[in-house]
Amino acid sequence: METIRVAIAGPRGKMGREAVKMVEEAANFQLMAVVDSKNEGKKVRDIDGLPASDAPIYTSLEECLTAHDVDVLVDLTAPAFGKKHMEIAFAHGVRPVVGTTGFTEADIEELRKTAEEKGIGAIIAPNFAIGAILMMKFAQVAAKYLPDVEIIEMHHDRKLDAPSGTAIKTAQLIREVREAKEQGHPDEREELQGARGANLDGMHIHSVRLPGLVAHQEVLFGGVGQTLKIRHDSIDRTSFMPGVKLSIETVMGIDTLVYGLENIIE
Ligand code: NAP
């Protein structure tokens, strides 16, 4: 089994901490270095709560990837950095696995073009939880038969983007099987702006932000005399790590950009 050399951006974050632990524990991965917004020159072991690893900390991704032979960069920072970090990784021939959200369809197309021109694999996964991927797939099946659907996504109140990447991805998957149509009463009006949430082809998406939540989503379907609710809950961030591990392994064998874990899970 060949060792995959990994760098992680965002190691002090809630996701990054779990990723550092997972990479340290995996027999086929080696943690080469991390990129943090502070702690330049220290080692991973110097950060409270992180494993006793001698992997060095950089504040510049550019310097990190210049100094180390890295196969895969795992980015778990913030929506503002995902795209920039992917471009830097591509420039260094490093395969990015990105969990930050906030990519536009145009960003994804541009990044896919770069990945293919360079023949470098890349994965962007708005949700690394396998259960959430199943929720999206089940929702797509249900929407064929029950095309009236609303999505309620619920996250912790530190989340920067709304709606979540998972909610947008769910709506995009549903859009593939559902003809665009406006839902609700044709004459409905919002007494308070935003009351009906965001609107994608007539599907409404509602974002809840509260302390105490991690990542949750309900897809609600309504039909004549019946409703169907498909719900997924990530109750802590370890739920995302099998998906991060699978992505690191998978990205080594592809030469394009894959957007969404559903495309690498049968
Ligand atoms: P978090 O706790 O706020 O952690 C983000 C970490 O990244 C912080 O330590 C932050 O440092 C650091 N950071 C920010 N900009 C950086 C940069 N340019 N270089 C290096 N480090 C940087 O957030 P989280 O809950 O772990 O989530 C991280 C990202 O993953 C978010 O974009 C979130 O939406 C996404 N996420 C994805 C999934 C998925 O399944 N795909 C699941 C959960 C979360 P400072 O605090 O010093 O800025």
Active site residue 68: no
Sequence-separated (6 or more) residues with CB below 8 Å from residue 6: 23, 29, 30, 31, 32, 70, 71, 72, 73, 74, 248
Active site residue 159: yes
Query: For residue range 189-212, what is the model confidence (pLDDT) as tens digits?
Result: 999 999 999 999 999 999 999 999
The residue-averaged pLDDT of 214-219 equals: 96
pLDDT at 266: 73
Identified catalytic residue from 83, 85, 155, 216: 155
Residue 77, SS3?
coil
Question: H-type helices in 44-184, by residue range?
Answer: 61-67, 79-91, 105-118, 130-145, 165-175
Residue count of the chain: 266
Query: For residue range 130-189, what is the model confidence (pLDDT) as tens digits?
Result: 999 999 999 999 999 999 999 999 999 999 899 998 999 899 999 999 988 999 999 999
Ligand 1 site-directed mutation target among 21, 75, 77, 124, most atoms within 8 Å of CB: 77
Distance 11 CA to ligand 1 centre (A): 8
pTM: 0.87
Q: Is 80 exceeded by the pLDDT of residue 31?
A: yes
Q: Is there an atom of ligand 1 within 6 Å of 217 CB?
A: no
